[in-house]
Amino acid sequence: MDNHVDTWTFGRYKTPGVTFPSVDDPNPPYDGWRDICEGNLQKEFEVVPLDGWDAVNLVSKGDSAFPDVLPKKLKDLLANSYATSYAGIAQPAGFTQQAFNNAYVGAYAIVWFMTNGVGPLCVKPPGPPPTTCTTPPTWVTGGGTPPPPSSGSSGSGGRTGSSVALAILALLFFLSGNWAGGAAALAGAIAVAASGGSVDWAKLRCDIYWLQFLLWKAQNAVRQGLVTGTLAYPLARELGVPGPDGHIIPVGDSTTPTPIPLCKSQRSDTYPRIMDASVPPPPETGLPDFNFLKFPNVAVETKNALGWPYGVKYPDFAVEGIGLDNGGILTNGTYPSRDRGMGDAVANAVDVMQKDAKGLSNYNIDGDRGYGWKTWNPKLLTKPKDPPVSDEPEL
């Protein structure tokens, strides 16, 4: 779901002039929105420019191969900030200056790979077919290979032109995994080159287009698997499609009785939930639950929280659609929680800057324990995975 939210948010704010005449009907439609997979988001945090492929290759070789790319002043700042935040307590091992440097290279590589617009993560469908072959041939709809190249009167090309065209056809065969068809096309190219014959160019154009279409289907199947595994972003056009009445049908969460668009806030129930032990590895290993397609049907931790008090909304509601609510983030409250919404991100950011952050309390603004909750730590010898948790405020 998070990747759908990212795709929606990027398209919403990076596509000029987007409006919503009705709740789920964007104008322009989703297929006219910019795609996050070609957004080059690594540029948004680029301190030191890196070549994307170089960064990916470095990650594949392991931490020891990472060059020292971050400026010393920045590494000093990160290390000192970490030491100050955890002053007086034992700090986990491994948070070194080199670790921050390696984290930058690793993050750069991942974000570049997911959003640079090339490769398998941003595969766009081919354009419309030539006007002479708008209906897919039987070897596309029913499987098999196209017939061998034939001569015809729609164009002549001598040895060189025919051989090049048929070699392209063979390459497309090979890339799509159709090895038998590729071999046949190559044999046809050799035969035409040897005989100096001509080719039916219109038919060849149609064959090449539909081979491109099959190649796209194969690549797109890989990409969709990566999207399901949260390793790639969905394309903007996959957020919704026009319905028979002309209105957009958003892609929904089929696991709920009344599907909610995947790019909207999903639930308003209490959380966080106890670690799901139904799928290995078990909680005592400290490793994550890899059954990420299944919402855990387990009890809720205590203390619990209601995470999102505003109902089912698109992401821009949280960004700029509320304004200040209940006095905003500068209004203090009692521990453990105000149990109130604070409003949207933009309004609160403006309020904090205008008032020089006076009155800002230690709220857990990322919402791990609820909207409007104060930041807290489990008391010594208590663990969230073994509730109930004895808590204490973080001052």
pLDDT in tens, 304-334: 766 677 888 899 998 999 999 989 989 988 8
Tell me: do 196 and 148 sit in the same domain: yes
Q: Which percentage of the chain shows pLDDT scores above 90?
A: 17
Residue 59 forms part of a structural domain: yes
Domain that holds residue 216: 138-228
Residue 156 forms part of a structural domain: yes
- pLDDT band for position 265 (cuts 50, 70, 90): confident
Q: How many residues does this entry show for the chain?
A: 395
Tell me: do 392 and 273 sit in the same domain: yes
Tell me: do 208 and 298 sit in the same domain: no
Contact residues for 246 (Cβ-Cβ < 8 A; gap 6+): none
For the chain, the domain total comes to: 3
Who has greater pLDDT, 182 or 324?
Answer: 324
3-state class (DSSP) for residue 283: helix
Q: Which percentage of the chain shows pLDDT scores above 70?
A: 71
Q: What is the mean pLDDT of residues 199-224?
A: 79
Mean pLDDT, rounded, of the chain: 77
Q: What is the pTM of this model?
A: 0.72
Report which of 32, 34, 26, 19 is spatially closest to residue 233, judged by C-alpha positions: 34
Q: Report the alpha-carbon distance of residue 395 to residue 392 in Å, rounded.
A: 9
3-state class (DSSP) for residue 305: strand
Q: In terms of C-beta distances under 8 Å and separation of at least 24 residues, what long-range contacts does 172-179 make, across chains too?
A: 172/208, 172/211, 172/212, 172/215, 173/145, 173/211, 175/215, 176/211, 176/214, 176/215, 176/218, 177/218, 178/145, 178/214
Tell me: do 287 and 394 sit in the same domain: yes
Tell me: do 276 and 308 sit in the same domain: yes
Q: Pairing between strand 300-306 and 270-273?
A: antiparallel
Q: Is 4 exposed, middle or buried (0-12, 13-18, 19+ CB in 10 A)?
A: buried
Tell me: do 102 and 218 sit in the same domain: no
The residue behind tokens 């200056």 is 97
